[in-house]
Amino acid sequence: MQINITYPKPPKKKSHRSIMINIVKDLFLLSALLCVTINIWAGGKAWSIIVLWSLYMIWTLFIHPDMIEYNRISQFTKVIVQSCIMLVLIDVFITSGWASNVVSIVCFGALIAVCLLLYTDFERQRHNLLPMILLSALSFVLSVVLMIISEGNVPWQVPVTFVLSLAVLIVCFKTMGGNIKSELKKLFHTI
């Protein structure tokens, strides 16, 4: 038996939001290309890398945010990680010598803020532990690297970040119990 479709398919119309996103995407790409071109033409320090990362931050945070992990803990950790990367880029490409102190202070403060975000509304936020674990692990690795690099002249915020990130990791793993494998599967989209 054959079924004949008598109604034509309605034409697909783009929404105003998708049209605006396409326009903004083209403007972002044009401005990124112009910044790199001007930086290469003018010479000097590589400030265009910082502009490119800033454009990426604006794109991922405001224009095209996450659809699945859009909660206050994951968005906050995303802002912190991207800001730390921005600080390191500024330190490497523009001025140097201060990023280790500032990034460790930002990570220390972010860990405290994320703990407050989690434990002020634990019932709703307990399913959002994975971004907190990732931020804690990143802070832990960062503080270990900074302690190795600094060669005995370790500022106070680095060991404090080390201890706090280790404590947060332990608390998160205790809170999650046996669910860490399922959360990691969700993160890497495996079955």
Query: Residues 62-109: pLDDT tens digits?
Result: 888 777 777 788 888 889 999 999 998 998 888 887 877 888 889 889
What's the whole-model pTM score?
0.78
The rounded distance, in Å, linking the Cα atoms of 70 and 75 is: 6
Task: With CA atoms as reference, report the closest residue to 142 among 115, 130, 160.
Answer: 160
The rounded distance, in Å, linking the Cα atoms of 86 and 51 is: 10
pLDDT digits (tens, 9 = 90+) for 155-172: 888 889 999 999 988 888
Six-digit token string for 154: 């370790």
pLDDT digits (tens, 9 = 90+) for 135-162: 899 999 988 888 888 777 878 888 899 9
Q: Is residue 55 within 8 Å of residue 28, measured between CB atoms? A: yes
Six-digit token string for 110: 């972010």
